[in-house]
Amino acid sequence: MDGKEFVHFRKRLGKTQKELSQLFGTSVKAVQGYEQGWRSIPAHIERQLIFLTAVATGKNETVKPCWAIKKCPPDRKKKCPAWEFRAGKICWFINGTICEGVVQKDWKEKMMICRTCEVFRPLLPRQEDTETEHDQ
């Protein structure tokens, strides 16, 4: 996630930088740093921001569960935490899911796959959205 995307998600939540910093338990300076790009966005902040946006906007409500989209075989589903916890609409939030046939080693690797997936894509801003919001 880059600063433009961070701004997009903050605005979709209708939060100021101060409100978001309180929500995350961090400083306003940290939030400003994420948005300006001079501070990297920690994985736990990115996950929470996307999760809150998904819940607040209801974007994941119309999405099919990941195992249906990916046509996962029964033996893979049984090993996957998304299936175990019936969280196929927020599989992107759960570490240890078996996407692309293997467990991803970290959040960054997982997000690279999730960003191309039909389950996660509806949450992402379109390119023109981030450009417009960043200029405001």
pLDDT single digits (tens) 13-25? 999 999 999 999 9
pLDDT of residue 135: 52
pLDDT of residue 130: 45
Q: How far apart are CA 119 and CA 69, in angstroms?
A: 8
Percent of the chain whose pLDDT exceeds 70: 90
Q: What dotted CATH number matches 1-60+126-136?
A: 1.10.260
Dihedral sign (CA 56, 62, 68, 69): negative
Q: How far apart are CA 66 and CA 71, in angstroms?
A: 8
Distances from the Cα of 110 to the Cα of 4, 18, 27, 73, 95, angstroms: 20, 29, 27, 20, 8
Query: Which pLDDT tens digit goes with each residue over 40-70?
Result: 999 999 999 999 998 888 877 767 899 998 8
Q: How far apart are CA 115 and CA 121, in angstroms?
A: 6
Query: Taking the complete model, does pTM exceed 0.85, yes or no?
Result: no
Residues in the chain: 136
* pLDDT at residue 133 greater than cutoff 50: no
Which secondary-structure segment (H or E) carries 68? helix 66-69
- Delimiting residues of CATH 1.10.260 domain(s) in the chain: 1-60+126-136
